[in-house]
Structure 1
């Protein structure tokens, strides 16, 4: 083999290895838990929502959570959009909150929607205890 052909083969191998690593990272799925729990920050208490529908990345069935509930969702990729819809007593949507977050912002695999929709207060994501 000529040195030029060896160099081209090495470059092709590096490109395919890089592409494989990129596809693995982008397509990797994570299981997260979504909480609807009361939250306190700097002396202010944010009450849990009475009833909400939570949709992650616009995929799958929405999670129906009442006050104090926890549900599970699977996310894939690095950036996500969570839609939280507050429901009234007749299960009609009263108010919607749409929040974006990335995997780098997450501190654990549990997401509490109460601090998340109130301006991403510290503690919106934490590890499972």
Structure 2
């Protein structure tokens, strides 16, 4: 696979970041509200649940780092979420539901990963396609 080492490092970093972010969100689910000036949530469990899901994504990203030839589906789902998250936030900001300060979460959780995830998907596609084609499912 082209740029295999780069992709392993990228997904190891993404995995560690997601696990750390997820753990912090579980331990302190009101932090985002305090930092952005949003009123504290009446149901912080929702943000804690988001942290749990993002932490679990971290485990999946670590698996992509371990075996990049087999990680295309995980990375594709990950990048899709990293695109849809900013779309949803843009809607919340445009409608005045959330303040513009909330964009900070999208920068570190989503935007910084667009190029490395897309590059990985491009490089991993031939490997994934040949593996999938050989499985009898294509």
Q: More strand per residue: 1 or 2?
A: 1
Greater C-alpha radius of gyration: 1
Structure with the greater relative contact order (CA < 8 A, sep ≥ 6): 1 or 2? 2
Q: More helix per residue: 1 or 2?
A: 2
Q: Using structure 1 for the length normalisation, give the TM-score.
A: 0.30
Q: Using structure 2 for the length normalisation, give the TM-score.
A: 0.28
